[in-house]
Chains A and B, each alone.
Chain A
């Protein structure tokens, strides 16, 4: 089969699934889940068939979707290259296992049709972003993932918080899309095309054709979708959705779409734009890390952790290592999906209890979940030889390498911030681990918890025990299956993450090499020190399975600062309720009183006159209007005849 056709089938399978569910299985219960899971399985199998056969050459192809005039055409096309390969592998693989998990997690839910239909729409939209070959098409699927995110956050729509959170997620994303769309229009007119590879060719031929403004506008889309400063406010609220949604959309894939897009258009980012991304990413690793320490809700803690790790990916882009950013995205997808699924497993077992301090002592009751959570904790904290280590530690080391190579002080700051972020990761992860799984149960619900069904535990084994541990081993070049596979991933995909794409310095190897050159081995020791120190500190500070947060007791002021996460939400709420609302009300007043009342009706002499005349004619029946019409026609005739003469 022609590779483009295969990609088209991969893309359209979830759309077909969503359509079937929407039309026939709205109340279909398990049938709806079956259709959706089968679609996800088809996507995964076909994607890996495709990836294993792929020869590493870029595949493109498109057809026209809308054509108006000679120079405006809206194309639907595929651009399949190394970063698309990584992203496809992640979306297909993680997506499938989260679908499986959902079957177990949603078993007592009434609205399975809506939920699984939403998941299928999401898979469709996400695959569209992965494969899109031009900015217009990216925007189409960008909006669609936003919609599926909205729909799934609002799953428990009878709850006020879910209604508010879904609305907020969509609107905040639209704020990002505002800049994004302006950037697309600008780029389209500046380069004369929206095709990504065509723009790449233009810039390769003449590097001076990069425009900082275009890069910054496109970056707005990334800021919204990946919840970076100052639009990070929607992501923690988005945890109102069911936990598999948080795992798939708000941790592993959709929020990483912003990173993926920035990597795709990396060539048009100017040094200024890169430095902006660097700072915003590095600061986010620290800011979100602190906020995570002030949350009692298990999912919100993980949400802040996601923000911090998106910050790491942004930092990698800012450092000029797009390949490394994609690699961290892939590793993060494995361990963060695991962490969310574990939290889902725990929440399900504790009958929808989300407060960590009402859990405790779960490791004996839920051993599979515990092991998966433990491995993922090691991985996210970048303990050597786990998946997270290869990407996260390299980002930190790469920042130092850049500084040591004399690229500027900003890199030293980035290094310091990301290193602090690593310490914070160990702190909040250690806190979660000890509070949730150790000690004794702190509530009735937790004491009756038991291990989840195989629907939920098998994905935990695959994503947690295996992938969170070994997803990064390909850097050792362990080839098998005639060299098609490298450790756990297809070799071509791995190659991209090792090399980066054709840039002199793009990926893991480049960053690693830069760091080796600096010879600063103390950096390694420091990061190990941070991990060990972080775990030891939390073990002794929080204790095993406490019923309340010791920090909250000892230093309520500090805890409050973490809990309110910089008062961003309060600022936004104030803006919406006090500023926007009042401006809108004022405008409405002007509209009714001034435009409707005075200007047009009052001073508009003609209108007033006509109004008086028509009022005299207006007798509340058809006649008045008919006279009017006849008068109009007569006037017309008189004009025409009079002018004829």
Chain B
């Protein structure tokens, strides 16, 4: 049964693909037509995502999924693979994220004045289709397939349109990400095997696991594969080297989509697939995961402080923030994982915003080296305002979405890993140091000599309308969720509450039974007596 909304869901994938095909066959089109086609290709998924997310609360759901539709492409009976689409409480906000960031990145790209613009937009549209597909897939094979579909344009775009050092960056990224993808693929196939060939349908797999549960030793192995496979894709410490250099070399729209959305694939895989299907494995790998996540926060945090290049700094800070999300997942509790998903959403918007603004800064200074800037705020006050807002969002200031993620993760982490809270919270100092230092170096104080020389005789204007619109789209998202977290937390909470894995008692066989924490707001009388 395919109703209107289910149709929209697949259209969100098909329209960008169709636009890409149109661009492929319409190479001779005038640039404005290419831009128009691409514009539709980016606008449609965003509008659909917004519509589906807005109606998610009332939509009819099966096993937590709404807007379901299944298309057999001939592998259903033999391999258990089908194009099975739908959104649940966790994927709906991320699907929305893909739509919003896609629109912002698309707008940026259309106005980017890149060489061979139609091809550039074509690749970006394929990427967009892949991203929408990743979060709409219930079938694990297609989940993986759409990731690859989005990943390949990344390599090509860096290789062709990238900045300085693009060859080595593209190479390094390819090596790492292919390795990560291979490991996670192995893990997914292993799940297929361990579940008695149930298929790749996530709903069926969950049913299988709740009825049979996979042997502990097998869970241990599979989770290890998935943790490192997905971990490499998400730049888990110490497998992060590809990310900052890759993003520094990538064209802006590409970096926005990759750092903002595609990177969430691995985290999403952990939350949606690995932990629910392999709870025992997750618990066993937990201590290591926490150490590595702290490596992301503390080690990479300090490395970020040392950066002088704006784009590298943004790339490293993005790697650092992955640490918080991993910590949230490691709590294995509704609050912690919920905080992680909120932070995935928030980080996607804020890192994309940072890339947009860094590019706008570059357009005015001609360099990414922050030592050669200074005093830009006098000439571009609105750009400075946007940049400070983006910095504040990424350091977790209340009022922006990121705050809810970070704060919730800290609170949830105390429950089973109280020792890790203090080192994790150190991150709030570290991020303030590099964030404010960058804002001051670029926009405040007197212009540096190099900048004075470079800008002599040139009129440097404020942020233009074309640059402003993607930034505004992203900031609106950050502030809305910042002021009204219910807007995304309700569906996340419902989904996680329905997932037995995240309920305290399921894992209590292994954990030391923590002192019963009374429900907030009601039970203080008991604990007082």
Contact: A68 with B496, CB < 8 Å? Answer: yes
Residue-wise, chain B 508-522 has the 8 Å CB interface mask toward A (1 for contact) of 000000000111110
User: Known: A194-B520, A632-B148. Contact between A68 and B489, CB under 8 A?
Assistant: yes
Q: Tell me what chain A mostly uses at the interface: helix, strand, loop, or mixed.
A: helix
B303 partner residues in chain A, CB cutoff 8 A: 584, 587-588, 591
B397 partner residues in chain A, CB cutoff 8 A: 143-144, 147
A583-B302, A620-B167 given; 6 more Cβ-contact pairs under 8 Å: A69-B334, A160-B446, A184-B411, A610-B179, A632-B181, A640-B189
User: In the complex, A34 Cα to B484 Cα: how many Å?
Assistant: 29
B440 CB within 8 Å of chain A: yes
A193 partner residues in chain B, CB cutoff 8 A: 518, 520-521, 523-524
B7 partner residues in chain A, CB cutoff 8 A: none
Contact: B436 with A632, CB < 8 Å? Answer: no
User: In the complex, A596 Cα to B411 Cα: how many Å?
Assistant: 33
Residue-wise, chain B 283-320 has the 8 Å CB interface mask toward A (1 for contact) of 00000000000000001101101110000000000000
User: In the complex, A66 Cα to B422 Cα: how many Å?
Assistant: 23
User: In the complex, A80 Cα to B496 Cα: how many Å?
Assistant: 36
Contact: B529 with A205, CB < 8 Å? Answer: yes
User: In the complex, A588 Cα to B175 Cα: how many Å?
Assistant: 22
8 A Cβ contacts from A574-603 to B: 580-581, 583-585, 587-588, 591, 595-596, 599-601
Q: How far is the CB of B116 from chain A (nearest CB, A)?
A: 13
Q: Tell me what chain B mostly uses at the interface: helix, strand, loop, or mixed.
A: helix
CB-nearest residue of chain A to B514? A189
B518 partner residues in chain A, CB cutoff 8 A: 71, 192-193
Contact: B155 with A157, CB < 8 Å? Answer: no
Residue-wise, chain A 621-645 has the 8 Å CB interface mask toward B (1 for contact) of 0100110110011011001110110
What is B's interface to A at a CB cutoff of 8 Å? 78-79, 145, 148, 152, 155-156, 159, 167, 171-172, 174-176, 178-179, 181-182, 185, 189, 192-193, 197, 238-241, 245, 299-300, 302-303, 305-307, 333-335, 338-339, 375, 377-378, 382, 388, 392, 397-399, 403-404, 407-408, 410-415, 418, 421-422, 425-426, 428-429, 432-433, 436-437, 440, 443-446, 485-486, 489, 492-493, 496-497, 502, 517-521, 523-525, 527-529
Contact: A71 with B517, CB < 8 Å? Answer: yes
Partner of B493, one of A69, A140, A635: A69
User: In the complex, A421 Cα to B410 Cα: how many Å?
Assistant: 41
Q: How far is the CB of B330 from chain A (nearest CB, A)?
A: 16
Contact: A580 with B305, CB < 8 Å? Answer: yes
Partner of B179, one of A140, A606, A626: A606
B156 partner residues in chain A, CB cutoff 8 A: 622, 625
Partner of A625, one of B152, B413, B436: B152
Contact: A615 with B171, CB < 8 Å? Answer: yes
A157 partner residues in chain B, CB cutoff 8 A: 377, 443-445
Contact: A595 with B241, CB < 8 Å? Answer: yes
Q: How far is the CB of B144 from chain A (nearest CB, A)?
A: 8
Contact: A626 with B152, CB < 8 Å? Answer: yes
Contact: A607 with B179, CB < 8 Å? Answer: yes
Q: At the interface with chain B, which of A45-53, A161-169, A297-305, A441-449?
A: A161-169
- 10 smallest CB-CB distances across A and B, nearest first, come from A69-B334, A163-B444, A596-B241, A72-B335, A68-B338, A588-B306, A584-B306, A205-B528, A140-B398, A584-B305
Partner of A632, one of B167, B185, B496: B185
User: In the complex, A485 Cα to B302 Cα: how many Å?
Assistant: 56
Contact: B520 with A66, CB < 8 Å? Answer: no
A202 CB within 8 Å of chain B: yes
Contact: A75 with B521, CB < 8 Å? Answer: yes
Q: How far is the CB of B486 from chain A (nearest CB, A)?
A: 7
8 A Cβ contacts from A410-425 to B: none
B79 partner residues in chain A, CB cutoff 8 A: 640-641, 644
User: In the complex, A641 Cα to B425 Cα: how many Å?
Assistant: 48
B300 partner residues in chain A, CB cutoff 8 A: 591
CB-nearest residue of chain B to A591? B303
Partner of A192, one of B240, B378, B524: B524
Contact: A73 with B521, CB < 8 Å? Answer: yes
Contact: B444 with A162, CB < 8 Å? Answer: yes
Q: How far is the CB of A522 from chain B (nearest CB, A)?
A: 46
Q: At the interface with chain B, which of A170-178, A328-336, A358-366, A548-556?
A: A170-178
Contact: B432 with A170, CB < 8 Å? Answer: yes
Contact: A171 with B521, CB < 8 Å? Answer: no
Q: How far is the CB of B526 from chain A (nearest CB, A)?
A: 9
B241 partner residues in chain A, CB cutoff 8 A: 591, 595-596, 600-601
Contact: B520 with A72, CB < 8 Å? Answer: yes
Contact: B496 with A69, CB < 8 Å? Answer: yes
B197 partner residues in chain A, CB cutoff 8 A: 644
A-B contact pairs, 24 of them (CB 8 A): A66-B486, A68-B338, A71-B335, A140-B398, A147-B397, A150-B436, A157-B444, A158-B375, A174-B432, A178-B428, A185-B414, A186-B414, A189-B415, A195-B520, A580-B433, A581-B305, A588-B307, A595-B241, A610-B178, A611-B171, A614-B171, A625-B156, A626-B152, A629-B148
Q: How far is the CB of A190 from chain B (nearest CB, A)?
A: 9
A502 CB within 8 Å of chain B: no
Partner of B410, one of A167, A185, A195: A185
Contact: B425 with A182, CB < 8 Å? Answer: yes
User: In the complex, A141 Cα to B403 Cα: how many Å?
Assistant: 12
A263 CB within 8 Å of chain B: no
User: In the complex, A496 Cα to B306 Cα: how many Å?
Assistant: 51
A72 partner residues in chain B, CB cutoff 8 A: 334-335, 408, 411-412, 520
A525 CB within 8 Å of chain B: no
8 A Cβ contacts from A177-220 to B: 177-178, 181-182, 184-186, 188-189, 191-195, 198-199, 201-202, 204-206, 209
User: Known: A178-B428, A192-B523. Contact between A163 and B445, CB under 8 A?
Assistant: yes
Contact: A628 with B521, CB < 8 Å? Answer: no
B426 partner residues in chain A, CB cutoff 8 A: 178
Contact: B524 with A147, CB < 8 Å? Answer: no
8 A Cβ contacts from A118-146 to B: 136, 139-141, 143-144
User: In the complex, A67 Cα to B519 Cα: how many Å?
Assistant: 12
A70 CB within 8 Å of chain B: yes
B407 partner residues in chain A, CB cutoff 8 A: 74, 136, 139
Contact: A181 with B410, CB < 8 Å? Answer: yes
Contact: B302 with A65, CB < 8 Å? Answer: no
User: In the complex, A184 Cα to B302 Cα: how many Å?
Assistant: 25
User: In the complex, A141 Cα to B398 Cα: how many Å?
Assistant: 8
User: Known: A181-B410, A607-B175, A640-B189. Contact between A164 and B440, CB under 8 A?
Assistant: yes
User: In the complex, A626 Cα to B444 Cα: how many Å?
Assistant: 46
Q: How far is the CB of A631 from chain B (nearest CB, A)?
A: 10
A255 CB within 8 Å of chain B: no
B412 partner residues in chain A, CB cutoff 8 A: 72
User: In the complex, A601 Cα to B175 Cα: how many Å?
Assistant: 9
Contact: B432 with A147, CB < 8 Å? Answer: no
A560 CB within 8 Å of chain B: no
CB-nearest residue of chain B to A189? B414
Q: How far is the CB of A59 from chain B (nearest CB, A)?
A: 17
CB-nearest residue of chain B to A606? B179
Contact: A69 with B335, CB < 8 Å? Answer: yes
Q: How far is the CB of B323 from chain A (nearest CB, A)?
A: 14
CB-nearest residue of chain A to B388? A151
Q: Which of B429, B444, B519 has the most CB of A within 10 A?
A: B444
Contact: B302 with A584, CB < 8 Å? Answer: yes
A521 CB within 8 Å of chain B: no
Partner of A66, one of B178, B306, B485, B525: B485
Contact: B414 with A143, CB < 8 Å? Answer: no
User: In the complex, A141 Cα to B397 Cα: how many Å?
Assistant: 10
A347 CB within 8 Å of chain B: no
CB-nearest residue of chain A to B200? A640
User: In the complex, A316 Cα to B375 Cα: how many Å?
Assistant: 45
Contact: B414 with A202, CB < 8 Å? Answer: no
8 A Cβ contacts from A17-73 to B: 26, 65-73
A144 partner residues in chain B, CB cutoff 8 A: 397-399
B176 partner residues in chain A, CB cutoff 8 A: 607
A264 CB within 8 Å of chain B: no
User: In the complex, A541 Cα to B45 Cα: how many Å?
Assistant: 78
